[in-house]
């Protein structure tokens, strides 16, 4: 029996001790950068095929670079990887850009998971989603809470959920406010870079969420995979807080000047996309299922700080 046949036999049993070939898209993004080493460590015998976003279209033995909204590229990726498990992190996460380019947002956020599922119908699909599927009127949402997205981003993430959950073996993981220092473009890297330069930051004190360190989310996803969890799960940070409080805790941990942090309200920003006022998630069931609990913000920042000071080779 060849390797592909063995993989296919095992995949029909969804044996997460050895999920055959894992296809990871969005591998160069904030979560992908953290998830890849955890997958390698947890599933040593699996083949991991990573897809990065970039110009042109190149497909190698275990890596591909290209645009997954390009039908031909996506087909090449599926043919080259023959996945048993797909973890789709490819997304347009810039909420304002989604609002300004709704068709692109839909093509990326809903179209890519739909095409992946269509091209690899036998693979289990893990789709990442967001707290922005809620309108933020109540907060502390559980998976059964009724979604009511306010923005194009939230709507397209909700579409990706419905499509993924059409197959009961698939898994949707909703997260909230992911942050890290390894990648830019998130609230931690923005606040820390400015405060380090002794520049003022405006931080929302009227909007609440449950931020999670990307590495904790990666560990949680691996835990959910190992437990073979399916359906809809929340896996966000353990503490509900405002973005203003988030900035204050960063200042505490890194010794930045707190007087540089100014309270702001959503109306102070000229945003086109509406944001939920309280999109905090209750992830108790997610932690239980994954058998992994994320760090508190202060704990995560302390580890991040050690990593930032350590040689690159010691980070993962
Ligand atoms: N960031 C958060 O706060 C947050 C919160 C809740 C849920 N999530 C979800 O978590 C998942 C991972 O997001 P993240 O935080 O890692 O965000 P990210 O850093 O923006 O990663 C998304 C990745 O998708 C890639 N991508 C975008 N368009 C693509 C395309 N057409 N073809 C192939 N790849 C494409 C991006 O590449 P480029 O950067 O080169 O475009 C990037 O590497 C997403 O589903 C996101 O919606 C994120």
* CATH number where 18 lies: 3.40.50.720
- 293 to 89, 177, 223, 235, 296: CA distances (angstroms): 21, 16, 10, 9, 9
Question: Ligand 1 centre and the CA of 53: distance in Å?
Answer: 10
- Report which of 240, 238, 246, 144 is spatially closest to residue 188, judged by C-alpha positions: 246
Q: Which residues of the chain have pLDDT under 50?
A: 1-14
Look at residue 22 and give its three-state secondary structure.
strand
- pLDDT value for 310: 87
91 within ligand 1 shell (Cβ under 6 A): yes
Q: Determine the Cα–Cα distance for residues 235 and 294; give it in Å rounded to an integer.
A: 9
pTM to 2 decimal places = 0.94
- pLDDT value for 316: 55
From 66, 91, 152, give the residue whose CB has the most ligand 1 atoms within 8 Å, as the site to mutate: 91
- pLDDT value for 311: 76
Please name the residue ranges forming H helices in the chain.
3-12, 30-42, 71-81, 95-100, 102-106, 112-119, 152-164, 187-196, 214-226, 243-254, 284-290, 297-309
How does pLDDT run across 106-115, given as a tens digit for each residue? 999 999 999 9
53 within ligand 1 shell (Cβ under 6 A): yes
Count of the separate structural domains present in the chain: 1
Cα end-to-end distance, the chain, whole Å: 35
Domain limits at 198? 3-314
Question: Ligand 1 centre and the CA of 29: distance in Å?
Answer: 6
């Amino acid at each position: 029996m060849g390797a592909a046949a063995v993989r296919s036999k095992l995949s029909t049993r969804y044996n997460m001790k050895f999920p055959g070939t894992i296809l990871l898209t969005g591998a160069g993004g904030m979560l992908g950068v953290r998830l890849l080493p955890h997958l390698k460590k947890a599933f040593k015998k699996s083949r991991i095929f990573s897809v990065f976003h970039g110009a042109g279209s190149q497909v190698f033995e275990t890596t591909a670079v290209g645009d997954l909204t390009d039908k031909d590229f996506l087909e090449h990726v599926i043919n080259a990887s023959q996945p048993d498990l797909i973890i789709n992190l490819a997304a347009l996460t810039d909420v304002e850009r989604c609002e300004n380019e709704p068709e692109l947002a839909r093509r990326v956020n809903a179209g890519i998971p739909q095409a992946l599922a269509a091209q690899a119908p036998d693979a289990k699909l893990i789709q990442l989603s967001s707290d922005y599927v809620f309108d933020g009127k109540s907060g502390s949402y559980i998976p059964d809470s009724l979604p009511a997205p306010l923005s194009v981003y939230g709507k397209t993430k909700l579409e990706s959920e419905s499509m993924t959950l059409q197959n009961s073996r698939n898994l949707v993981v909703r997260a909230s406010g992911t942050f890290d220092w390894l990648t830019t473009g998130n609230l931690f890297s923005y606040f820390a870079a400015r405060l380090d330069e002794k520049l003022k930051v405006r931080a929302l004190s009227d909007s609440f969420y449950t931020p999670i360190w990307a590495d904790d989310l990666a560990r949680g996803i691996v835990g959910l995979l190992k437990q073979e969890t399916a359906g809809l799960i929340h896996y966000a940070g353990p503490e509900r807080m405002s973005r203003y409080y988030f900035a204050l805790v960063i200042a505490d941990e890194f010794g930045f000047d707190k007087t540089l942090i100014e309270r702001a309200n959503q109306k102070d920003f000229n945003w086109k996309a509406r944001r939920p006022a309280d999109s905090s998630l209750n992830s108790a069931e997610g932690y239980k299922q994954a058998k992994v609990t994320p760090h508190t913000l202060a704990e995560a920042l302390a580890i991040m700080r050690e990593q930032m000071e350590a040689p690159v080779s010691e980070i993962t």
